[in-house]
Chain A
Amino acid sequence: MRRKTVKALATLGRATALTICVAAGATALLWSQGAAVLRDWDRDASDRPLSAARARLAVAASHVDAGARRLALAQLHNDLRDIRSMERLAPVAVQCREHLANCFELAFDHDAAAGLWREAIDFDANDLHAMARLAELQCRRPDTTAAGLQSLTQLIAMAPNAPCIVQSLVRALLALGRPEHALLALQASRASATVGTFVIAVGGEAATVSAMPCSNVGTNGALRLVFALPPTVHSLRLGWPVFAAFRLQTPLLRLSVPNEDIVVSLCERPGTMNGVVVDPDGIEALGHAAAWLNISLPARTDTMQCVITAGIVPRPSPAMAMTALDPVFAAWAAQPDAAIDVASRQQLAEWRAAALRGMRLGLRLGQGDALMARIECHPDNTFSATWMIERDASELQFEWPGERACHPWRTIELVAAGRTVTLDPRTVSLLATHAVQQSPLGLIVTGESPSVRIACPTGDRLTSLTVRGIL
């Protein structure tokens, strides 16, 4: 090598070393002075893969078309195949696999779904949800039915009122044509719902880290929670026992500070809530894992002694009641009185009411958005949903949420110009249908995005439409 070249290289080396030293100095300066800037960059950089994966999952799962959804989820699942259980992206990988398995199950590709559930168990040996779903699929194959049922029984012992496990067991028993056992499984979950420990929390989003267990001291079917709050607190979060399903009747909060007692109804001006439904006279927990209600408090300057009282009325859990709409249950309930005892019939009606109560049905009269109506359940074991319309209509399209259910509709009442026309949805001629079959039991939804379209027979401006059915 020529001397000149060596010299040039040496100079370049020196310059590079010096540059790196300058960079080191700048880094040292940044580290000592610009910690905040560094932390912002750090947070962005470390969270980016997670937020990107979450966004991809949300997009993939929201495809309306089942095929496109399955394809997008499979792509994401493939991209996340190297992620393992202890990594930050693990929750996204788990959710993606779960969505994809659901897609396969809906398409009746049980082998593919079972493969994914097995993969989920390999991924996390403590994934009871995946175990339950796999066992449910095993129950559908004659050669693995016994193993599946045994597995589900063990899982139920571990988590007797966890909705995902109870629903798997109920669906498995229904698939095996054992509705009476399935109803017993539902009822057992109801018996194991507890009212022992609530959680009191303060602090909005941080509530989970600043929550305290509060034990019920009420007896004879009553709730009585006693606790104290410092004066700086202006709202509290009441958390229900996990997977609890019951109604709090006339819930009151009594706040005692020196020389003053304030009584607040928890049903009046309720704050934000999750997993509970509030009506003027009570609050119903729906059986979700994290049910809570935020309650505003009057400002005080002393420590507040608080007592929450209510009556407790056990209810079937809506979180696991969808299985009560299964066509097998419907067929069982349609048997003559001699074949099914009154108590079972009533229990099933309560579960079906829990599934249907509040369900939003869609009615499309042409182009444009669907009109929505809520189902209401009545004490005589019937239900109804009413749309107030005031529009001309030639065709009526009904849309349901959810999949695989028997909607025990009996009549569709149309009111137009003071005249009522009643149709039987089980026999009326259908103009079009998607994933819905007519049956003597009602309308059976067999897949995703179910809908039926019928001709509107009134000919006049439609005033209202009411769907009625039996529980």
Chain B
Amino acid sequence: MKVLRSAWRWSWVVTLPLVVLFTAWVLATGRQWRTLVRDFTASPLALDLHGIGVDHAHQAWRDLLGRVRPGDLSDVPVPAQLRSIQLFISDQEQAKLDRDLPYSGFQWHKAMLTYADGLHEVELRYRGDAAVHWGFEKKSMRIRTATTDLFAGMRQFNLVVPKFPLLGDNYLAYRLARSLGLITPRCELVNVFRNGHLLGVYEFTEQLEEGTLRTHDRMPGDLYAGELQGRDARRGTCNQVFESPWLWEKLAANNHYDLESRVPLEQLCALLAEPQSEAAHARLAELLDLDVWGRFGAFELLAQTRAFDESRNWRLYWDPWRRKLEPVVQDPAGWSAHLGETEVEVDLDVAPSRLHAWLLANGQYLVARHHALTEFFDGSNEAFLAEVETTAEKLGYALHHDPNLRPANEAFVQAAVRRLPERLRRVLAAIRGEHLETMADVAWAWLPDGVVRVQINGRCPIERVSLTFAQRLASTPRVQVSVQHADGPHVVEVPYPAALATGTSLMIAFGGCGQSAPLWSPNCSTGARHCLPATFDIRLVDWVGEAPVAVFPSRGRGVGRAAQRESLPMHVHDLLFAAQRSWRSLADEQWSGEVLIDGVRDVHGEVEIAAGTIVRLGPKASLLFHGRVTARGTASQPIRFIPKTKDQDPWGTVALDGPGCSESVLQHCEFAGGSGYKVPLAEYCSMVSLHGCREVLVQDCRFHENHQYDDLVHVVYADVVFDRVVLAGARADALDCDISTVVIRDSSFLRSANDGVDLMTSRAVIENCRFEGNGDKGVSIGEGSVLLAVRCLFDGCGKALEAKDGSIAHALHCEVRRCGKAANAYKKNWRYDAGGELWLQRCVVEANGALPTADTWSRVEVSDSRVVGELLAEYEQEYVDGTSTRMRNTARLVDCDAEAPTRRRDALPFPAVLQALPAGALQAWQQTQGQSRGVSR
């Protein structure tokens, strides 16, 4: 009795803590249930009272353990530590953010963020309308910096709460996408601290904008966002992104066109609304970069993502110079079905939208996807899996210390982390097995009239077939490949050398795939497919010989032997188009004498232009070459591209357009009287346009008298050598290079209204060139370009050299005379973290309006040079919008005087940054170094 009485007396020691805990639990559970279940929809989370209660119990237990268990993030081994983001926000601002969730979270509030050099002011708000982003203690955030104060080169980024147990679903999927060469936002797993208190693990993700495109070496162009779910849904419409281009938003726009223009999307939506046909698929191939889409398809398969469906997550980039739509990976939520406790089947096809339905019926896409998968498994597969393991290890540590883990059951989450590498290994193995290693049926039968009927089944495409005959083939027969569609046969001629007889074999470049029909399954948002056979008739025209003795398809990783059948049925190709590459007539053209061009002429074959040829172009006439051009004029017999008649309106453009023009040669050519050419889907902003071609040589050519459009020559995504060329009197820039590599030797840039050479994200070596009387800059080095200029003369230009926005230029043994300003470096575009760097060594700088200037973010150093004049302490930096700011001049003169000989006689070390330049750069650097300053040795 006494014991009982004593127990009763002291019972509060046990019951009181329990009461406190239970009351706290009841209140927290009730509050969250009311918010996330009764008042709001927590979708896609499946929350209920039971789950919330359990989660809060786990959370309380973790809190309790956290208080008694010593240790923090500093205990984590350094290699396994995640980067930390330190945010500071006042209680007042925090209270405003949290005042009326989720609505109040969408307003920006002031905060501070720790940069490498200390605290900087930023703006912060919550992001995401799903409850996972705002309904718990750890909330997803968006940070915005000032345009003059980027964080790691970004104006805006997101700190996103990972959706466990999917753990790092986006992070790893982004990494995979990047390894496949796709455009993705930057993403990293980080620990986030608010006011010094750890909030937990977040996905640090760049906000997509034009800067993302620049990071991926893409020209600024339209970036479209198709997002019609949640708060983005449009009431009154069907909320399907491909129904209307006007339901998309533009995240970035090409300012050469109306900023609201959506012509590429209009064409895509209109195309997808049509029935599928060969003609429609040909247009699809013109609109989409199918190689990139093949990589995107491989990514979707490998990441097992169904995130890109009829209503969400689409980001499409329109490259105005390649004239192709390219996917951008956004919020992929990879492997979301595979990271739960139970194993699920691997999706062997992914087709959650109508665009996928089209792509999976496009033979060229299937081949591109196959190539991407092959490259991945041959190259980056193991590296990726190693990264998965490293990430799992890092996450294991980070989650242990995450005070706001959700679900709060750490054992459950850690188990998911541990099984992550194994699950992903299984997924990748299944994809590899089905798409690369399963050699499904290939059969053939000999039909009358020289027809080999080939039947293909399975997911692995065939790229060639070899027909083996009993006897040696005297010549290559004419070959046609035909397929049967519902509306009739489709025949493609396979020209030599795509069909090539060698010995007893006839090799045929042959794009063959099996068909696949959409297969309904209970979870068919994945887009499961049912494989169906496809039949191709290879007709040997006028064939009088025997049947082949064997047929060897080259498929996937090897060559197999197809099974021979007595007969095979012809399957109608309902679900396979553009399987066989459509070979254009590639007959060489030879031009000589006078060639008249009116209107716009596309030339797809290779063209050889004889010396002395005069190409006369009518008003607005343009020549678009898509194959290699060999124009070899001579000094006495130049090749001329000139107006058809005197005093006519200018002609348009002469363009080497696309990779087919690689290895073109223009020698002793003259171009005069042109302008440019612009249509809704294509732009050529110069008289001569070199787009997307490699190893082009332009030698002893002269470009002058352009009209209406800006540039004399525009190089984009190209690799060109200019030797002994003269560009004179450009309306704006003489040579405009965007995302290209150029070598310019012994050339002259005279009297351009704007720049002699304008570089954007390009690498250039300029040697022995003259820049005279250019209205603005001799060479403008902008937006991450790298330049080596040696023995160049700048005379009478507005500025000799100007470096901007992360660009670096080295000028060696150059002379700068009579220019408005010798050189300048500044930060022009806020998207870049830094200004420009200019290094002038062993140069002559005299008789200029002003010596070099540089702003706070830039660096200009003139060393061991002959310099006449004094550096300005301050100067007015002018900007493109017409404003100007008084800046402190940070340019420096080192070892400079008014003498001609160099002070140092030893060879200058080759700067590491110039190693990114073409091979000739090192040679030019080494050969140029003389004992005198300036251009003379």
Contacts and interface: CB of A to CB of B under 8 A. Distances in A.
Contact of A210 (B14, B273, B276, B523): B523
Interface in B220-269: 231-238, 240, 242-244, 246-247
A382 B233 CA distance: 42
B763 to A, nearest CB: 43
Nearest to B9: A14
A320 interface: no
B882 to A, nearest CB: 32
Given A162-B236, A305-B530, A14 B15 contact: yes
A84 B231 CA distance: 12
Interface string B506-534: 00000000000111111111011010100
B390 interface: no
Interface stretch (A214-222, A328-336, A349-357): A214-222
A55 interface: no
B910 interface: no
B574 interface: yes
Given A87-B40, A196-B272, A224 B486 contact: yes
A85 interface: yes
A126 B18 CA distance: 49
A202 B235 contact: no
A31 B50 contact: yes
Nearest to B14: A21
B744 to A, nearest CB: 47
A132 B234 CA distance: 12
Nearest to B37: A46
Interface in A177-233: 194-197, 200-203, 209-220, 222, 224, 226-230, 233
Contacts of B54: 31
Interface string B1-40: 0000000100110111011001100100000010001111
Nearest to A212: B524
A24 interface: yes
A38 B53 CA distance: 11
A129 B235 contact: yes
Interface string A143-182: 0000000000010011110101100000000000000000
B568 to A, nearest CB: 17
A236 B39 CA distance: 36
B237 A159 contact: yes
B574 A217 contact: yes
A229 B37 CA distance: 37
A227 B275 contact: no
Contact of A86 (B102, B232, B352, B356): B102
A137 interface: no
Contact of B530 (A24, A228, A241): A228
Contact of B487 (A42, A94, A220): A220
Contacts of B522: 202-203, 210
B331 interface: no
A88 interface: yes
A127 B273 CA distance: 25
A210 B236 contact: no
Contacts of B40: 86-88
A242 B244 contact: no
Contacts of B424: none
B358 interface: yes
Classify chain B's interface size: 35 or more
Nearest to A125: B231
Count chain A CB atoms within 10 A of each CB in B275, B276, B361 and give the residue with the most: B275
B309 to A, nearest CB: 9
Contacts of A45: 38
A303 B530 contact: yes
Contacts of B243: 159, 194, 242
A213 B518 contact: yes
Nearest to A200: B520
B590 interface: no
Nearest to A159: B237
A432 interface: no
B357 A215 contact: yes
Contacts of A196: 272-275, 354
A42 B238 contact: no
Given A196-B273, A226-B574, A158 B247 contact: yes
A8 interface: no
Contacts of A87: 39-40
Contacts of A42: 33, 37, 48-50
Count chain B CB atoms within 10 A of each CB in A23, A87, A194, A203 and give the residue with the most: A194
B496 interface: no
Interface in A334-363: none
A114 to B, nearest CB: 17
A20 interface: yes
Given A23-B22, A229-B520, A17 B16 contact: yes
A14 B520 contact: no
Contacts of A126: 231-235
Nearest to B230: A86
Nearest to B575: A226
A57 to B, nearest CB: 17
A255 interface: no
A188 to B, nearest CB: 13
Contact of B38 (A88, A159, A195): A88
B237 A227 contact: no
B37 A213 contact: no
Nearest to A242: B238
A194 B22 contact: no
A206 B93 CA distance: 45
B235 A124 contact: yes
Contacts of A201: 520
A417 interface: no
A217 B38 CA distance: 46
Given A217-B574, A233-B520, A212 B527 contact: yes
Contacts of B274: 194, 196
Count chain B CB atoms within 10 A of each CB in A46, A85, A211 and give the residue with the most: A46
A243 interface: yes
B738 interface: no
A382 to B, nearest CB: 35
A216 B357 CA distance: 10
Contacts of B574: 217, 224, 226, 307
Nearest to A16: B19
Interface string A298-339: 000001010100000000000000000000000000000000
Given A84-B103, A230-B521, A242-B243, A217 B235 contact: no
A159 B517 contact: no
B50 A17 contact: no
B235 A197 contact: no
A230 B247 CA distance: 35
B700 interface: no
A38 B50 contact: yes
A39 B48 contact: yes
Contact of B39 (A88, A94, A214): A88
B767 interface: no
Count chain B CB atoms within 10 A of each CB in A86, A127, A209, A224 and give the residue with the most: A86
Q: Which 7 A-B pairs have the closest CB atoms?
A: A129-B236, A228-B530, A194-B273, A242-B238, A17-B15, A128-B236, A24-B22
Given A86-B103, A128-B235, A200-B520, 8 more contacts: A86-B41, A127-B235, A217-B486, A222-B486, A226-B517, A228-B517, A242-B240, A305-B517
11 contacts: A31-B54, A39-B48, A39-B49, A86-B231, A162-B236, A211-B524, A213-B310, A218-B486, A230-B521, A236-B520, A242-B243
Interface of B: 8, 11-12, 14-16, 18-19, 22-23, 26, 33, 37-41, 48-50, 53-54, 57, 102-103, 129, 231-238, 240, 242-244, 246-247, 272-277, 310, 351-354, 356-358, 361, 485-487, 517-525, 527-528, 530, 532, 574-575
Interface of A: 13-14, 17-18, 20-21, 23-24, 27, 31, 35, 38-39, 41-43, 45-46, 49, 84-88, 94, 124, 126-132, 154, 157-160, 162, 164-165, 194-197, 200-203, 209-220, 222, 224, 226-230, 233, 236, 241-243, 289, 303, 305, 307
